[in-house]
Structure 1
Amino acid sequence: LPAKNPAKTKKAREALGKAGTKKDVLQKGQLAAWFAAVQQLQNPVIAACIQMMLLTGARPGEVLALRWEDVNTKWKGISIRDKVEGTREIPATPYMLHLLAALPRRTITEPKTGRQIANPWVFSSPTSATGCLTEPNNPHTRACKAAGLEGLTLHGLRRSFKSLTEWLEVPVGVVAQIQGHKPSATAEKHYTVRPLELLRLHHERIEAWILEQAGIVFDAKATPGGLRVVGG
């Protein structure tokens, strides 16, 4: 047995990183296991929500705060309430539209009148007091454990999106705009706000590549399924 802990040497520390630092990022080779485990979650709304977190690179709270009025299926855009800029518009990519189309359109009871009204939340919950899904940390933890990916957090999915785009050499300004990061002057001196259609070219390519790595066969040209209205 070695006399010293190999992680204590300077060379090892440089290779391994600081003690306690979590590499809270999905690797390319882990995508298939992660998607398979998430898609097997019993609650399809939670499964869709978690997949959207990875595919948008958005903050978990931004995804949970999505309302149906934020989704423009005609122009294929999604308005996200951004804590940095107020709101930002990102592309509604083909697989995202597929996920959204499969979600139930629930109704909720209006407290004052007792009337049934449309639940405004995209990721809704019949058991939540607000009708909105709460942060699905526990289901995601279970899925990650099943996939052998313990330690990956919901916010780690945001980091994963940024990391995965590097395989495709997507311009950093495009990734920053999709994710709602403030542009870095050193990373992109001439930062410009790209129009939605230009973002879409890159975002659809990112999505298609992630799905390919995950082994998901998906027809991007297929029409998303119809919406279902359910009570509760």
Structure 2
Amino acid sequence: MRETAMCAGLQDAELAALHRIGRRRRVATGQRVCWAGDPSLTCANLVSGVLKVARSEPDGRVQIVGLLYPGDFVGTLFAERSLDTIAALSEADLCVYPRLALETVLADHPAARRLVLRRTMATLAETRRWMPMLARARADARVAALLLDMARRCEARGPEAFRLPLSRGAMGEALGLAIETVSRQMTAFHDEGLIELSGVRGVRLIDGARLAAVAG
């Protein structure tokens, strides 16, 4: 737990308090972590994988409003009902805590409370970046923006090489595009010298500036 973003910097007593109430949970691709409107019983820290945050619109459409990456906080503290539906875009591993028990631990440990609240606000700020990305009308702009976002969130290593956390199909689901469209755009970026593809998931950003220009 000490290596995860939510727990990094906590003292042994605070970690022990979280350990007493926490459990690990594996989530398969496509499985729901929680449904909007259901009782808010748990919160979690995402250890590995990618989750999507979806919200139902008044006209019945379901809109993805954000992605959660390792280190992000999952769920809503001090809320009786889940605000959004959260599901796995890839296999995921979570540290899960009963919400009420977690709130009690945070009340007893001010340092842990400050850290978790900062982590929650950071997660909220990241999800707010998602809507402008989806507002891009062109498919190439959406795919470019997602590649840049994944490189940043996955801590791309030199020179800016990383492993895609999502399959082409999951990228399409997140962006509202067909898998064929995502694959076509990835190939086009490769042919234009913006990225280099390696195997099924390997990506290296060759010209991040040009990719950012495509993303708008």
TM-score, L = length of structure 1: 0.28
TM-score, L = length of structure 2: 0.30
Q: Which has the higher strand share?
A: 2
Q: Which has the higher contact order (CA 8 A, sep 6+)?
A: 1
- Which is higher, the Rg of structure 1 or of structure 2? 1
